Copies of this chain bind each other. A is one copy, B any other.
C-alpha cells in the first residue's frame, strides 16, 4: 500500500482520477476517518493520516490541500458507499425513490438512514466532524454546504414532485418541511436524546404529513388518520 515516493508533479493540482491509485486513495480515506474518530478533528493531521495509510505526506498533498479537504472527500466517499449498499444507482447515489406514494418513499429513505447512522464505520468520525462543525464555523459551513445540504436538496426535489402531483399542499416550503422528519432523527442521533428505529422514523413521516392536530372542531366526529 506504499505509494509514498513523491512524484514530481506540482502540489494541489486538480484531482486526476486516472492517475490516482485507488488502493492508496482508499487507505487515505480509511485512515482519515479512523483518526478523526479516535483523536478528534483538531488533533488529526495530514502527517498522521499519511503515516496510518502507509503513504507519504506528499502523496496526500498532491491530491488535497488540507486535512479538511481529505476528510470532506472521505465522508463523501463513505456516503456514496452507504448509498450504493442501499441499492442506489451509480448516476444518482442519493436519489429518493418516487413510487407515487410519498409516505412510503420517505419512510424507505429514512429507514436506510437509520441503518447508516447505526453503521460503526460512520459513528465516531461523523460525531467528531459534527462536533468540530459546532465550534468551528468554517468547518461547519463547508461540510454543510458540500455534504449535508446536497442530501437535503434531494428531499426538496421529492417534495416538489409531490406538490406537482397534488400530495403536498402547494403553499408548503419543501426546504422547511423536510426538517420535520430529518432534524428529529439527526438530533436523536447527534445528541442521544432518544432511541432511533424504523418505527420512530415511520412515525415522524406520518406526523409530518398528516399533522398532530385533531381535525377542526367544526367536524362532528374524529376523522380517520389519513
Query: A: which residues have CB within 8 A of B?
Result: 40, 102, 127-128, 130-135, 137, 140-141, 144, 148-149, 152, 159, 166-169, 171-173, 175-177, 179-180, 182-184, 186-188, 190-194, 200, 203-204, 207-214, 216-217, 222, 224-226
Taking A152-B193, A169-B225, A172-B212 as known contacts, 12 extra A-B pairs with beta carbons closer than 8 A to each other, sorted by chain A number, are A40-B135, A131-B131, A131-B132, A131-B135, A134-B191, A168-B214, A169-B212, A169-B214, A176-B207, A179-B184, A210-B213, A211-B213
Residues of the B chain whose Cβ atoms lie less than 8 Å from the Cβ of A182:
187
Complex CA–CA separation, A152 to B134 (angstroms): 22
Q: Which single residue of chain B is at the shortest CB-CB distance from A226?
A: B216
- Min CB distance A207 to B, Å, is 6
**Most chain B Cβ neighbours within 10 Å, of A132, A167, A193, A204:** A193
- Min CB distance A184 to B, Å, is 4
15 pairs across A/B with beta carbons < 8 Å?
A127-B134, A127-B135, A131-B131, A159-B212, A166-B214, A167-B213, A169-B222, A173-B203, A176-B204, A180-B180, A180-B207, A180-B208, A190-B190, A207-B208, A210-B213
How many copies of this chain? 2
Q: Are A192 and B141 in contact (CB under 8 A)?
A: yes
Complex CA–CA separation, A131 to B157 (angstroms): 31
- Min CB distance A154 to B, Å, is 15
Residues of the B chain whose Cβ atoms lie less than 8 Å from the Cβ of A208:
180, 207-208, 211-212
Residues of the B chain whose Cβ atoms lie less than 8 Å from the Cβ of A128:
135
Q: Are A177 and B207 in contact (CB under 8 A)?
A: yes
Q: Are B135 and A169 in contact (CB under 8 A)?
A: no
Residues of the B chain whose Cβ atoms lie less than 8 Å from the Cβ of A168:
212-214
Q: Which single residue of chain B is at the shortest CB-CB distance from A180?
A: B180
Residues of the B chain whose Cβ atoms lie less than 8 Å from the Cβ of A190:
134, 190
Complex CA–CA separation, A171 to B212 (angstroms): 9
Q: Which single residue of chain B is at the shortest CB-CB distance from A218?
A: B224
Complex CA–CA separation, A200 to B225 (angstroms): 26
Complex CA–CA separation, A128 to B217 (angstroms): 46
